[in-house]
Amino acid sequence: MLSFFKDYKIFGIVFGVISLIIIFIIYYTLNVYQPLPIYQPAMVSTALVDSTIQHQRKYHKIADFSLVNQNGQTITQKDYLDKIYIADFFFTTCQTICPIMTNHMAIIQKEIIQDDDIMLLSHSVTPEIDTVAQLKRYALKKGVNDKKWNLVTGDKKEIYKLARKSYLAVKDNGDGGPFDMVHTENFMLIDKKKQIRGFYDGTDPEDISRLLDDIQILKQEYTQ
């Protein structure tokens, strides 16, 4: 009888150890680090990609730019060097999706305010209206922190080219003329190598939460 319980005790210990190993393996498998995709034009809906680059499968990066922010300062890629950033396209007189997007960007700003690795970049799609003075008024109204978030204006063709050929935010549907309008709810997550790592609906609170989670996933790439 004692031998039976002794054998049972040994069996129980072995079974317990094996169970813990199995649990650990399952936990590790389910929680293993999965990097974010690097989006190429060929991976994105043709509704969002300029026709001239629709079939590009590698080497896509955000092009260099030179725009002016709410303080009249020239903003280029150098201001975002070695930064993760979130980009979008808006205009200050928009009464539909832009106020929601800007409010959500303000929420993101609050979440990343202490993180020196993260910045924000909002491009005006009506630069003829959104002068530096207009952007400054809007920035003050929306609580923009100048160290974290640039609202930029500049040459309309340059901004629209960025939207269509760099950020893959909207399909080419015009020539940047007076009746041509980029109007997209997309937020784009850009990594330190100027690559697109995620697209999000800037009007959707759930997508904003997903974006914040993805920022933390992306940051792990720089600690591996």
Cα(80)–Cα(189) distance, rounded to whole angstroms? 13
94 annotated to bind ligand: yes
Shortest CA distance to 119 belongs to which of 176, 188, 167? 188
Cβ atoms of 167 and 187 closer than 8 Å:
no
Cβ atoms of 171 and 160 closer than 8 Å:
no
55 annotated to bind ligand: no
Token output for 167: 């950020």
User: What order do you get walking across the sheet with 118-124 strand by strand?
Assistant: 149-152, 118-124, 84-90, 186-190, 196-201
Shortest CA distance to 222 belongs to which of 82, 109, 93? 82
Cα(180)–Cα(132) distance, rounded to whole angstroms? 22
123 annotated to bind ligand: no
Cα(219)–Cα(191) distance, rounded to whole angstroms? 9
Binding residues for Cu cation: 94, 98, 183
Binding residues: 94, 98, 183
